[in-house]
Structure 1
Amino acid sequence: MAHLPEDVRASFRFFAFYLANDTLVMDLLEDFDYRPVVMAHGSGLEQVFAIFANVLDVNESGEVTNYGDAEYRAAQWIRRCCDDSYKVDPPFAGWELDLPP
């Protein structure tokens, strides 16, 4: 069985670190204490990681090519949960929100 490439594993590690430390995409989320919203029942956290994973692109060499985009899209979902006036632009596509079975 193959393992995820090192760059992909590092991306998930950094994403989890920033999320847990309340330092995820500071220019978008710095004024919001999002952790209670995301971690309240687990489903918010599940959705955040699904968006991050769904948006993350990996090239043939196993290198992540869009970490910032994946992180930002997940942060946009969090911001929308914390701020009803925030408009996600562009709106989420269905594939971004899909949860694997």
Structure 2
Amino acid sequence: MELSADFKRALRLFVYYYFNGTLAYLVKDGQLLSEVDYAVQLANQPSTMEQVFAIYTNNIKMDEIGNVINQKHAMNRAAQFIIAVCHRSEEAYKVIPEFEPWEMELH
């Protein structure tokens, strides 16, 4: 089975917003995300980057023909992880709901 064109589009947009530094404008807790230069802060943390993309892709849902039906939710969950990692020292951010084990799985 091939990845659908809609999934490829959704993933491309997520990657674009992430690396362009504009993910904050698309997610619920965007203000907290905009307070840090997350792309620079996470650039030297490949395992953290891997986890961000795992959370995003594990949360994506598609209909029977491959159309992504929850892009915003998947981006929000990935952004929550980024915020939690970037604000870890302050412990000012709590992910709600907490991540389920299936969301964190690396494949």
Per-residue CA deviation, residues 26-66 of structure 1 (Å, 9 max, x unaligned), is 32411111113322131111100000000000110110000
SS state at 1:25 partner = helix
Please give the residue correspondences for 1:1-101 in structure 2 after superposition, counting only pairs within 5 Å.
2-26=1-25, 27-28=30-31, 29-83=33-87, 84-100=91-107
- Identical amino acids, percent of aligned pairs: 38
Gaps in structure 1 of 5+ consecutive residues: none
User: How many residue pairs are counted as aligned between the two chains?
Assistant: 99
What is the DSSP-based 3-state SS (H/G/I as helix, E as strand, rest coil) of the residue aligned with 1:89?
coil
Compute the displacement of 1:25 (Å). Answer: 3.0
Q: Which moved more, 1:57-66 or 1:32-41?
A: 32-41
Deviation at residue 11 of structure 1 after TM alignment: 0.6
Q: Which runs of 5+ in 2 are unaligned?
A: none
Q: TM (normalized to structure 1)? A: 0.92
Tell me how large the CA RMSD over aligned residues is: 1.1
Runs of 4+ in 1 over 3 A off after TM superposition: none
Q: Counterpart of 2:23 in 1: which secondary structure?
A: coil
TM-score norm. by structure 2 comes to 0.87
